[in-house]
Structure 1
């Protein structure tokens, strides 16, 4: 099992500084017109960032990593960072940089392309796509799917739940529960879940596949993994189905991937072009059609079959920027014996 991030950060920061960047055209970071630190997976977004390079009209170098680790690296580097743009997997990492005053104010015209719920309160980051936490379930094993994650601590689910406690999206969900319900209630829920002996998997797709094969009855995942599997295999071969939780349940968190411009360097003009590209119809269609996420701008509507409209979801009302307290969440997960 991976060691918790709170123990790994110093070594990761040192290692990251020594690693070469992954560049759009093989260009070194020192020679690039724009350097992007991307917490989004390379396989997922590289085709889009290749198009971004053409759109901004200069060479782009991309350094890939986990969002929380890259945000910590930017803080560590301070004014010496090579990053001009931070492309985060989740809003919490952007909120962490915002709280430290490391992100530049974005033009109101860019912010207005996205609903206020999916942009920073300080106007220094904006969401580019959304993802929803859902329950995957095996219809042959589950007669009635729980409508709240609080039911997962009940005895009937002992040994029947799959999850990825080291996954950033799971940790963001736990942070969201802390914001919504407080640390004591969240700690109690985590201990109850741990006592129910959930099965740990390497990633969300493996959780989904395990549910489909009947290894577990329920899984905690993001919505788009199911839609990816359906597009790949067909719904009848996936085995699992997904349930969107109602009533503002913390397990129905809608998180946002997003971008912020790093304050205080000469890359700001081209970084702003990159922000506008990621909010453009072309990029939003990529998120909608290729990654199966929810587009957040440019009036693009998803064409994914059976994906409920974002406006129809009963997500909890939460300031996504408050998901910044990742280290406290990691400490809580460690205390619960989950990481």
Structure 2
């Protein structure tokens, strides 16, 4: 866990317009100086190098001081629950819709009424009670060996369960929330019985034991241990930067039906925030064009704000159809997904 505090600030932001008060199509992120200095405290499951540039820019623009604590999602959520109304946290930032859904279910977030956020964040990437909002998109897709996978062999996530993939598949552990959300989305789209058949097929097709992270799974494909795996796109982007001549490529599955599974990083204002108005203003800014450009560049993720383009590296991967399922479903169905994966011995 690490804690950093920026220089003392001299100004803060005014809250964005509410749904009732904002003019139609309003999405302003204009700032005004406050009567007194404010310090915001953020609990973040995103790593320091992915949030510090954003917070530094926000402080530079507004003078608002931001104190942040980074840790994994589960400890941060436990901390918020145990601190209760005594928490210093004004905002929670985390990755995966499942973690955001859990935070809302555990009652540590508050509803935010903001026309700016409604305009900048698509409806399927936010909580239906406005307790959290997506800030960046990561697609979980197939990466394969270009010299060993023939044209037409790849089609859908379900296709990886076919017999011709026997001994050719690598997967990250089921214990990682990203795979839990993927399986949860399959339960929603296919029904639990069909989803279980698919995941059982994956397990039957594994070439080796599961891996602890996406990078190791891709390295296994590169080394010839298997021919394909399933990863978040930004992991592929990182590997591509380090090893531009890697014998790997992205495939976008399910383009003839529901589309590629997507997940998010996102944030919400805490229930017991000491500065809810200022925290809302920060959240609005994080959805703005300026901040979304930073999200796109820092981790090769897709912006949630449709007015902002992905980075040039990400654009090179090509366009694809996205699953329009509300990402909160991945959270709601995660307990069922975990049980399903246990039943088929996906470890």
Q: Identify the TM-score tier after normalising by the shorter chain.
A: 0.7 to 0.9
User: How much has 1:64 moved relative to structure 2?
Assistant: 2.2
Query: What residue is the counterpart of 1:135 in the other structure?
Result: 142
User: How much has 1:210 moved relative to structure 2?
Assistant: 2.2
**Is 1:87 aligned to residue 68 of structure 2?**
no
For structure 2, the 5+ residue unaligned runs are 9-37
- Whether contact under 8 Å (2:171, 2:206) holds in the other structure is no
Query: What residue is the counterpart of 2:48 in the other structure?
Result: 42
Query: What residue is the counterpart of 1:201 in the other structure?
Result: 211
- Whether contact under 8 Å (1:248, 1:317) holds in the other structure is no
Query: What residue is the counterpart of 1:185 in the other structure?
Result: 194
**Is 1:122 aligned to residue 125 of structure 2?**
no
Between Structure 1 and Structure 2, whose CA radius of gyration is higher? 2
Matched position secondary structure for 1:301 = coil
Tell me how far apart the structure 1 counterparts of residues 5 and 176 of structure 2 sit (CA, whole Å). 26
Q: 1:55 to 1:229 in 2, by over 3 A?
A: same
For structure 1, the 5+ residue unaligned runs are 1-19
Tell me how far apart the structure 1 counterparts of residues 294 and 141 of structure 2 sit (CA, whole Å). 22
More helix by share: 1
User: How much has 1:56 moved relative to structure 2?
Assistant: 5.3
Query: What residue is the counterpart of 2:225 in the other structure?
Result: 215
- Of 299, 312, 316, the match for 1:291: 299
Q: TM-score, normalised by structure 1?
A: 0.81
Query: What residue is the counterpart of 1:263 in the other structure?
Result: 271
Matched position secondary structure for 2:131 = coil
Tell me how far apart the structure 1 counterparts of residues 337 and 6 of structure 2 sit (CA, whole Å). 38
- Whether contact under 8 Å (1:56, 1:274) holds in the other structure is no
- Whether contact under 8 Å (1:67, 1:90) holds in the other structure is no
Q: Deviations over 1:226-249 (max 9, x none)?
A: 223323332xx1210010113366
| RMSD of equivalent CA atoms | 2.8
- Whether contact under 8 Å (2:2, 2:71) holds in the other structure is no
User: How much has 1:130 moved relative to structure 2?
Assistant: 0.6
- Whether contact under 8 Å (2:44, 2:92) holds in the other structure is yes
Matched position secondary structure for 1:161 = coil
- Whether contact under 8 Å (1:56, 1:270) holds in the other structure is no
**Is 1:169 aligned to residue 178 of structure 2?**
yes
